[in-house]
Structure 1
């Protein structure tokens, strides 16, 4: 089975049918207002830099907190520097062709690529906070090594692998190119790598795959587009994202069933239930992969929030538009991750938990900035600080986004 293809699609010929019913929301609170449908995507007239996941104001806030020794930022920073990703002795391991099969098997350069990208981002953050040029030079070394060598991604997981690494590289590059005063001679070659190797793999999405694929791929496409000042690619990626979000996270205001995934071949109720991994009862906050496992759902949540964060930096704040969809999705999964009893109507009464460090960015946006009470999400987020790097493309989000008002 491919990493993101629903296991049950083969069963469609059997004509799986299920009644699509609504039950009261599983998290207390007022019913959500209908989500506004976004108009066509539009890139800003001029991109803000650094502007992929982190703005300059956000980074300055973090730097001030770490230098003052305040928590949780100081502890998160110390954990980051103590990790292998923060090592100044790290040696990059680039490949010309990265081959990644289902679940990264085979793993021919897949882990190396993802980890070197996270390390480059780690070093960029470390430089911004400490102003120790050794970290900037190490970040540049890692980015230059890969841009000098990689030519392609192959095998079934190539688009997803490109999404994981392609969402992380621009975060590092934005900080180094637009904030580091020491110069970066290889920035042009690195931009060419993003444009020619990564962007073609992610820009068209994967309509029929599990939704985490397309959301992660759009995280990469949006970040790459910002770094390249590519308005056309940004518009295309944002349009795909705006269609996928309401097809991935359900609200009662959507009607008796979730939206069909745009541009896909899924267009009947039985196909939709199969696509939602057999779930036929829909409540506020349920996600398309909830009944698959929380690991993939967490990656989708993280990617969704990353794009919303970048969009806000670039001048279009999506959080007011999606606030109900986001808060219910976070709260719904947080309650079960915290140990709430699983009802029999949900995934047959059994959940595969393990959401990963996926909640920090969304919690900050909704709670810190918009003032929305999110008790389950708060308990989960604060109880797991500092967030680390468990899910391939999520890194140090307690450091960068905890209680960050900017």
Structure 2
């Protein structure tokens, strides 16, 4: 096993100072801790019967469930007993916790079925918290018992969890990271600890804090149900609590991203409906038990989370362990909350629901089921509007857009859907010289069905088995197409590019929401993106959201000139936030660029390289590669960017990998 410097012990949910301070609060009969302590004593049975299993089997939604409940109950009781042992010095509690840990350590061989990793993630950190307290408080746990428990962690739990599971919904990796951090601390394994923190910061697909919680606080599972959202938030916050015990602050990153996720979700649970980029789910609206620590942590930082505070107040009496383990000695003299979190304003709100227009009197209205193509042909060259009424507008073949028209919808309720058997691209140019068109305020849906369902992860384009494109405008000559305007358009879930334009000038993208486009269909991964522009000039991309490409970038510019990318959100893409190749006159300013698997901004060299590029005033943080990466760019200006948390975590959040600008004309092979 690889070891580095040791950790603070005990040091998972709480340190020795925290536990000692908790004991003082109870001795002083201070509330709510005295009542929580009394309830925990009342609820904890030292005669708990241990039913350990060699093979623990848990399928989806606990079908089948052989040993799963026994394991979960054992982990909870062990932690409760270890905590009460510390607080009371009653050895009955210590003996019960030891009996549970020894029973499972002697018996458990493996996990199996659908929820194997999830169950291990749920239970590993609770077991480790119990073990950590017992080991460092003279509880009478034998060295043989410690060794057997360590053996179970490293031969049963660790091999199952070490590869994470980011393609599942994000609550899985939250739980996995939570337990891996706890295992790392108990076994004094610093490389494992750093790897788990790095995954929390930079994990792919749904694996990181930034993949799970969006800048406005919406969560990856907000469209699924609020029970799973609370589970995901609870596990990510639990992992952050463990990291904080060891001096790594994951609560403040991303402008208090964990707090934003909690306040967004809790507000909805308490009756306030926030804006959601999907249809926020009304399922499982009950409050969970994971509010106490988050409330107290942010309050100690002087940050008010009013909805979270209300939820913590209402749940406190029901979750005594959570109330007790939320105590930090450092919170004893914390400042009173003086500020609240506000929504990030960058590209918020973007997409079809933004600024839904008043419809001109001479507009041609198209009801679902009527021919959109006939209406466009009728309006061609006149400047008239064709308006998609709310509902699904199925297409039997690609829509051929003529010049001189505006195609508008009435918000996200207006959905243009190319039938899967009808070809690849939903909208194409009718002529090689397409000009003076506007697309606005409707949705191009690239999933295999117009209503993808209530689990957003199942409809993501990496799960889409079709070859599906959004908007494709191509010309055979530079600048032949012109005057192409995209306003408040949503294009999502396409396996091919969301929008691909080649050979045009005078392009604007304003307030658009291009997300989850660009998977691994032919011609292959990393070649499809949310927005791909080639051989284009005079381009403005502003106030738009270009997120979540499963294999591509938010924006890819190739052989383009005079481009302004301003005030956009470019996040959670598998490649880069912005990729620039063989282009000139590129200005990238005022953007939020975060959580991309590779670099935030990547200017690559292929043959002649890029020329005259300005990157200024952007927030570029927590991307897996460099914040800004450039090779062989002629005349690049980089100034006043906020760079933080980019690159692999090796013990500090702001490492050397924030910026790489090389004069070398180097082709990056990846």
TM-score (norm 2): 0.46
Q: Is the 2:77–2:97 contact (alpha carbons within 8 Å) kept by the matching residues of 1? A: yes
1:175 aligned onto 2:133:
yes
1:3-402 → structure 2 map (5 Å cutoff): 45-83=5-43, 86-185=44-143, 186-243=145-202, 244-251=208-215, 284-341=216-273, 347=279, 350-368=282-300, 370-388=301-319, 396-401=321-326
Q: Distance in 1 between matches of 2:111 and 2:137?
A: 30
Q: In 2, are the aligned partners of 1:114 and 1:165 still within 8 Å (CA)?
A: yes
SS at match of 2:56: strand
The answer to whether the 8 Å contact 2:94/2:139 transfers is no
Q: Deviations over 1:341-388 (max 9, x none)?
A: 5769762673531341112122211112x1101111111111221352
Give the conservation status (yes or no) of the 8 Å contact 2:21–2:328. Answer: no
Deviations 1:126-178 (A, max 9, x none): 01111111101110000000001000101111111111111211000000001
Question: Is the 2:17–2:329 Cα contact (8 Å) retained in structure 1?
Answer: no
Q: 1:357 to 1:138 in 2, by over 3 A?
A: same
Distance (Å, rounded) in 1 between the aligned partners of 2:235 and 2:286 = 16
Instruction: Determine the C-alpha separation between the residues in 1 that align with 2:213 and 2:243.
Output: 19
CA drift of 1:232 comes to 2.1
CA contact (8 A) 2:164 2:173 kept: yes
Which 10-residue stretch deviates more, 214-223 or 55-64? 55-64
Distance (Å, rounded) in 1 between the aligned partners of 2:118 and 2:165: 9
> Which residue, 319, 322, 330 being the options, matches 1:405?
330
Select between 179-188 and 101-110 the one with higher mean Cα deviation. 179-188
Deviations along 1:250-294, whole A, 9 cap, x unmatched? Answer: 00xxxxxxxxxxxxxxxxxxxxxxxxxxxxxxxx11000111111
Structure with bigger strand share is: 2
**RMSD after superposition:** 2.0
Q: Could you tell me how far 1:58 is from its partner in structure 2?
A: 1.3
CA–CA separation in structure 2 for the residues paired with 1:213 and 1:68: 39
Deviations 1:223-273, CA, capped at 9 Å, x for gaps? 01110111222222221111211011000xxxxxxxxxxxxxxxxxxxxxx
Distance 1:348 1:96, change over 3 A: closer
Structure having greater relative contact order (Cα 8 Å, sep ≥ 6)? 1
Give the Cα–Cα distance (whole angstroms) in 1 for the partners of residues 243 and 148 of structure 2. 26
Q: Is the Cα contact below 8 Å between 2:224 and 2:281 reproduced in 1?
A: no
Partner Cα distance (2:191, 2:225) in 1: 34
Per the alignment, residue 33 of structure 1 pairs with: none
For residues 343 and 326 of structure 1, the distance between their equivalents in structure 2, rounded to whole angstroms, comes to: 18
SS in 2 for 1:52: coil
Q: Residues 85-137 of structure 1: CA distance to partner in whole angstroms, max 9, x if unpaired? A: x1011111100110111112111000000100110000000011111111011
The Cα shift of 1:317 comes to 2.1
SS at match of 2:258: helix
Corresponding residue for 1:36?
Answer: none
Q: Secondary structure at the match of 2:252?
A: helix
Q: Cα 1:398–1:44, aligned 2, differ >3 Å: closer, same or farther?
A: farther
After TM superposition, the runs of 4+ consecutive aligned structure 1 residues lying more than 3 A away are: 341-346, 348-352, 402-406
SS of equivalent to 1:66 = helix
- The change in CA–CA distance for 1:242 and 1:88 in structure 2 (over 3 A counts) is same
Partner Cα distance (1:344, 1:68) in 2:
45
**8 Å Cα contact 2:166/2:173 also seen in 1:** yes
CA distance in structure 2 between the partners assigned to 1:58 and 1:69 by the alignment: 17
Q: Distance in 1 between matches of 2:210 and 2:107?
A: 38
Q: By percentage of residues, which structure has more helix?
A: 1
Q: Which runs of 5+ in 1 are unaligned?
A: 1-42, 252-283, 389-394
- Contact 2:4–2:191 (8 Å) recurs in 1: no
Residue 250 to residue 343, structure 1, CA distance change in 2 (3 Å): closer
SS of residue in 2 equivalent to 1:179: coil
Larger Rg: 2
Q: Which residue of 2 aligns with 1:261?
A: none
CA distance in 1, matches of 2:220, 2:277: 15
User: Is this contact kept in 2: 1:387–1:397, CA < 8 A?
Assistant: no
SS at match of 1:91: coil
Change in Cα spacing, 1:317 to 1:89, as seen in structure 2 (3 Å) is same
**How far is 1:44 from its partner?**
7.2
Point out where structure 2 has 5 or more consecutive residues left out of the alignment.
Answer: 203-207, 332-670
